[in-house]
Amino acid sequence: MATDYIPRSEPQLAIWFTNYGKKISNYGQSLGLTAEEIKLAETRCNETSAKITEIEQKKTEVQQIIAVKDDLKSDALAVIRGFVTRIKAHTAYTEAIGLDLGIIGTTVDTTVLKGSKTTLKAEVLPGRVRISFVKKSFSGVNIYTRLVGTAQWEFLARDNHSPYDDERPLTNGQPEKREYMAIGLLGDDEVGMPSDIISVVFGG
């Protein structure tokens, strides 16, 4: 059974539209298309390709902005946590000050967390698999992976903020079916149940 000639990924689709729009005038009239139909095809292809390219560029810009934000947030939290540790150790510190500064944590019922689990979703993107997760009451998650057909889970990453991008290259240069699973964290400790296993086919 032949596959559809229309590419599924939008970056590839933009290339396809550009190629078709550029070359249809070479063959259109000899294959029964009118000059108006050829012009319409060229216009639609050029407009669509340009818009897809624009959106892909915006996506890249957004990801770059998010990466900068994540770095700034990580640095700011590390600095502030250090300050808070010193503040709480100071003789002038009171609970009222802590409440006013918002530096007193809420109590978490660990018995509830032990019976809870996070949920995962996976999306295959160019060069990576994006893992989105819902933390619920967990402070973060440990993400594990394995190839379908293997038994051993491999620790992939700890993440406190969804999503996580798995950017590992293909093992042998061939598409592979990857499975993912996550366990919720309270601080540094795994306290939740393993999530449901999800799988994707990653082609690189």
Q: In this predicted model, which residue has the larger pLDDT, 41 or 4?
A: 41
CB 10 within 8 A of CB 19: no
For the whole model, what pTM was predicted?
Answer: 0.50
> Can you tell me the mean pLDDT for 49-69?
93
Rounded CA separation 68/75 (Å): 11
Q: Which residues contact 100 (CB under 8 A, 6 or more apart)?
A: none
% of the chain surpassing 70 pLDDT: 96
Task: Say if residue 53 is in the same domain as residue 152.
Answer: no
| CA distance readout (Å), 116 to 125, 137, 191 | 29, 9, 9
What is the model's pLDDT at position 172? 84
Task: Say if residue 66 is in the same domain as residue 51.
Answer: yes
What is the model's pLDDT at position 136? 81
Task: Say if residue 94 is in the same domain as residue 140.
Answer: no
Task: Say if residue 87 is in the same domain as residue 149.
Answer: no
Q: Give me the CATH number covering residue 188.
A: 2.60.40.10
Q: Which domain holds residue 149?
A: 110-202
Alpha-carbon 89 to chain mean position = 39
What is the phi-psi region of residue 179: left when phi exceeds 0, alpha when psi lies from -120 to 50, beta otherwise?
beta
Average pLDDT, the chain: 91
What is the model's pLDDT at position 104? 86
CB 24 within 8 A of CB 34: no
Q: Domain ends where: 70, 85, 105?
A: 105
What is the model's pLDDT at position 4? 87
Alpha-carbon 129 to chain mean position = 7
Task: Say if residue 54 is in the same domain as residue 12.
Answer: yes
- pLDDT exceeds cutoff 60 at 1: no
Task: Say if residue 34 is in the same domain as residue 121.
Answer: no
In the chain, the number of structural domains is: 2
Nearest to 140 by CA among 155, 121, 118: 118
Q: What is the pLDDT of residues 144-190, one digit of tens each?
A: 999 999 999 999 999 988 999 999 999 888 899 999 999 998 877 88
What is the model's pLDDT at position 2? 60
Task: Say if residue 100 is in the same domain as residue 16.
Answer: yes
Task: Say if residue 1 is in the same domain as residue 99.
Answer: yes
- Per DSSP, the chain holds a count of helices (H) and strands (E) of 4, 8
Among 29-43, 123-137, 150-164, 172-186, top mean pLDDT goes to 29-43
* Buried b / exposed e along 89-105 (16+ C-beta atoms within 10 A): eeeeeeeeeeeeeebee
Task: Say if residue 98 is in the same domain as residue 115.
Answer: no
